[in-house]
Structure 1
Amino acid sequence: MSINAMFIHHDDELKYRFNEDHPFNQKRLELTYDLLTEIEALLPAQMLQARRATEDELLTIHQPSYIHTVKGLSVDHPKQQWLDKAEIYGFTSEDTPYFKEMHAVTSTIVGGSITAVDTVMSGQSLHALHLGGGLHHALSNRGSGFCVYNDASVAIAYLRQHYHARVLYIDTDVHHGDGVQWSFYTDPQVCTYSIHETGKFLFPGTGFVHERGESDGFGTCYNIPMEPFTEDDSWLDCFQETIQRVTAMFKPDIIVSQHGCDAHAYDPLSHQQCSMRIYKAMPAIIHQLAHQYCEGRWVALGGGGYDIWRVVPRAWSLLWLEMTDHPLLKQLDHDPLLPLPEAWMERWQQKAPVTIPATWLDNLTDWEPMPRRSEISSNNRKMVDVALQYIP
């Protein structure tokens, strides 16, 4: 198998953990690594260690006072001057509380996304995956939504500064990619696209179709807010049409995509009713667009995903299989209920508080259709029409 994609990682990323009861749990990375290793889809030659981002790189997005506060809160016993600023910068909430080594760990996550960018832009590989990244909610001066530094925004700023690239950012997390949108809201060389559950009902309460950019950046921001309880067919129909139209219009040099997998029906932090099918289909669509418009240049990041046992390992493994053109994907086309490896199942089931599905894709025979399916699909269709109304 030729190496057309690199897998960026660093053990320190496992330390990105707010507390033992927090839903953001990096054990999902361990589960995913182990699954890919078990099926021999992740080889040592494909793996590249992340570096730590420099302070100058962080400053392309984040304000100096914010970075200084993150540093001050990253020690065992923060001084009172930093504790006084914790609330101002978003670090006293249940969502994003400060933790030991916060600055160093999150700088490594940012560095991993920059490493992925350099790997692709240098020609070392066509694609790069950094599952530790995708912290898309962090703002320039505030931690938010489990995110301290916004690695996606810093990586895009790095692309603009060092490679002068025209960047399309695609966000498939169920929560709106607000931090990245606001970072480039006036930049005509960065197009941000986000498909997510509508902000009427879900954090962060943004991502409506009328958010289209400002000043020179007007018309380079696209939001596709989905109704609660959207199912596979409607989600994929909306995604495929809109992202193809947006990409054809913008004609990027590179795609940076965020792959939160929290629109799945099992995820506890959203109201969607999608299955693993969308996490096989969306990467395939993005992959095709990268080759059609960007000569293959594609950087993919992780993101949300809070059912760490039943959803995240399968979804993120499917992403890597797509990036590497792994033959298992063709087997899944013929047999959607192809079983997961027994050894992996046995290793993790004894530790899991829930029953791990035995197949790569979900067995939908027992899933009941949503009562308002036609109404939900119709409302989603209307949102697509509004979102695309200015694209020729």
Structure 2
Amino acid sequence: MNDRTLWIDNSACGIYRFHDDHPFHPIRLELTKDLLHACGALRQEQMILPLSLHEGEHEVDLIHRTDFVRCVAALSGKTLNDDAVKLAAQYGMESDGDTPFFPGIHEAAAGIVAGSLAAADAVMSGRADHALHLAGGLHHAFPERASGFCVYNDAAAANSWIRRKYGARVMYIDTDVHHGDGVQWFFYTDPDVFTLSIHETGKFLFPGTGFHHERGAATGYGACLNLSMEPYTEDASWLECFERGVQTAVQAFKPDVIVSQHGCDAHAFDPLAHIHCSMKIYREMPRIIHELAAQYTQGRWIALGGGGYDHWRVVPRAWSLLWLEMTGHPLLKQIDASPLGGDLPEQWPTVKSARRPAHLPATWLDDTAAWTPMPRREEITEKNRTMMDIALQHLV
């Protein structure tokens, strides 16, 4: 078991909350911690606090446009600033949109940046081999506007901080079902930050980008890889493409550190996408990243959260599997030895909510044999392989 893995305390990030009916809800974080505590897999001595809000705000000021940050701050007060409300839509924060403003939005978003900076600092300083900040991973935010539930881009902030302070080459790996567009465009011309995103093709899913021809520009050409998967892709094809893509990219780029984003919305249960994967990919992708970090970056691995909108059935299991892999917890041997991963703790969940589903999974992994088989499986698999051949042309 790896005792040099740190958990960034995300309890304060519960204030990053748009409204009770919004899919990006902090109950996901509470349920994950609840599951890990029920397994005895999360101890107080493994937890550290985010950096200060001031340090988070400082990094926000460095990567985001000043007028945007001023507008977010003006929308953050209990008393609304009329001028800022008129400008909110211009900055991606319509009151009835995907990323509505709310009281405290600036402090909440800057606090998430502070958490991801703490993860980066723990690893790059040598205090830890790995660090996990599940409240982070807000990968859709742009320098000049909010987008896709994301106000400030904590992943881009961590990457920029690592580059500026340590001059390290950063491999950013994004496993969210939605293209990691914000992080990609932040570093599209930077040869020292490689951005890799596996996601459902933008032909059918927000944000409509992330195609294989997006490979970086100017001196950054070649430091970008997009694996755009067909709708209804299943485990075997998803993992085949992911493993081939990340191994090729890491071998070509030779990073000093891996920063990974672990949105878990490529699951068949997720309501906001069309991929048909099971919990198996959330066991295997962290394992693959862990092995690459051990081989190429002396173990340096910073992991962030992200999307995932089946709050009860998917996110807690997926994020718990990530933490178990990062810590090398003994429970993994039991999970790997059982076809369905073994039973979840009987006492989980203890979180009370009127939105709790009537039926929750009883095992770590899914019984996909009970699922209706996907039509066009072979056709989808071949389309994904063809995409991969084209996407990797500039790296092989």
- TM-score with structure 1 length normalisation? 0.98
In structure 1, C-alpha distance between the alignment counterparts of 2:363 and 2:330, rounded to whole Å: 16
Write the distance in 2 (CA, Å) between the matches of 1:249 and 1:300.
21
Q: 1:216 aligns with which of 208, 219, 226?
A: 219
CA distance in 1, matches of 2:358, 2:142: 34
Q: CA deviation at 1:364?
A: 1.4
Q: Which amino acid aligns with 1:375?
A: E
1:263-302 equivalences in 2 (<5 Å): 263-302=266-305
In 2, Cα distance between equivalents of 1:78 and 1:244: 49
CA pair 380-318 structure 1, distance change in 2 beyond 3 A: same
Give unpaired runs (5+ residues) of structure 2: none
The answer for the alignment partner of 1:109 in structure 2 is 112
The answer (yes or no) to whether the contact 1:238–1:380 under 8 Å persists in 2 is: yes
Output the CA distance in 2 between the equivalents of 1:40 and 1:76: 40
Aligned 1:61-80 pairs, distance under 5 A: 61-80=63-82
Are the counterparts in 2 of residues 117 and 155 from structure 1 also a CA contact under 8 Å?
Answer: yes
- Find the aligned partners of 1:292 and 1:258 in 2 and give their Cα distance: 19
Q: Tell me, yes or no, if structure 1 residue 87 matches structure 2 residue 89.
A: yes
Deviations 1:173-229 (A, max 9, x none): 000000000000000000000000000000000000000000000000000000000
| Partner AA of 1:25 in structure 2 | H
Equivalences, count: 392
Q: Which moved more, 1:279-288 or 1:2-11?
A: 2-11
d(CA) in 2 for partners of 1:20 and 1:39?
A: 28
- For residues 172-251 of structure 1, the aligned pairs below 5 Å read 172-251=175-254
| Counterpart position of 1:305 | 308
Q: CA deviation at 1:351?
A: 5.5
Give me the whole-angstrom Cα distance separating, in 1, the residues matched to 2:259 and 2:166.
Answer: 14
Of residues 339, 346, 352, the one that matches 1:342 is 346
Residues 31, 349 of structure 2: 8 Å contact kept: no
The residue aligned with 2:151 is: 148
Instruction: Give the superposition deviation at 1:368.
Output: 1.8
* Matching of residue 352 in structure 1 with residue 356 in structure 2: yes
- Is 2:389 aligned against 1:385? yes
Shift of 1:330: 1.2
Contact 2:344-2:363 at 8 Å conserved across structures: yes
Runs (4 or more) in structure 1 with deviation over 3 Å come to 345-351
> What is the 5 A alignment of 1:307-346?
307-337=310-340, 338-345=342-349
Following superposition, the deviation at residue 2 of structure 1 comes to: 4.4
User: 2: CA distance between counterparts of 1:74 and 1:253?
Assistant: 37
Measure how far apart 1:309 and its partner are: 0.3
CA contact (8 A) 2:56 2:111 kept: no
User: What is the distance in 2 between the residues matched to 1:347 and 1:262?
Assistant: 21
Residue 343 of structure 1 aligns to a residue in which SS?
coil
After superposition, the Cα gap between the structure-2 partners of 1:186 and 1:346, relative to the gap in structure 1 and judged at 3 Å, is closer
Q: Matches of 1:247 and 1:365 in 2, distance apart?
A: 34
Distance 1:359 1:128 in 2: 26
* One-letter amino acid of the structure 1 residue matched with residue 107 of structure 2: A
Structure 1 unmatched ranges of 5 or more: none
Question: What corresponds to 1:127 in structure 2?
Answer: 130
In 2: Cα distance, 1:295 partner to 1:57 partner: 26
TM-score by structure 2 length? 0.97
Asked whether 1:362 is paired with 2:366, we answer yes
Stretch of structure 1 that moved more, 191-200 or 8-17: 8-17
Whether the 8 Å CA contact 1:60–1:157 is kept in 2: the answer is: no
1:38 maps to which residue?
38
- Work out the CA distance in 2 between the residues paired with 1:228 and 1:2: 37
The separation in 2 between residues aligned to 1:308 and 1:10, in whole angstroms, is 16
SS at match of 1:59: helix
Could you tell me how far apart the structure 2 residues matched to 1:18 and 1:350 are?
18
Farther-moved stretch of structure 1 (340-349 vs 258-267): 340-349
Distance, in Å, in 2 between the alignment partners of 1:215 and 1:157 is 18
CA-CA distance at 1:345 after TM superposition: 4.1
Structure 1 CA distance for aligned equivalents of residues 351 and 118 of structure 2? 32
Please tell me whether residue 98 in structure 1 is matched to residue 92 in structure 2: no
The verdict on how the C-alpha distance between 1:54 and 1:275 changes in structure 2, with shifts beyond 3 A counting, is closer
Q: How far apart are the structure 2 equivalents of 1:2 and 1:252?
A: 22
SS in 2 for 1:222: strand
Q: Cα RMSD between the aligned structures?
A: 1.2
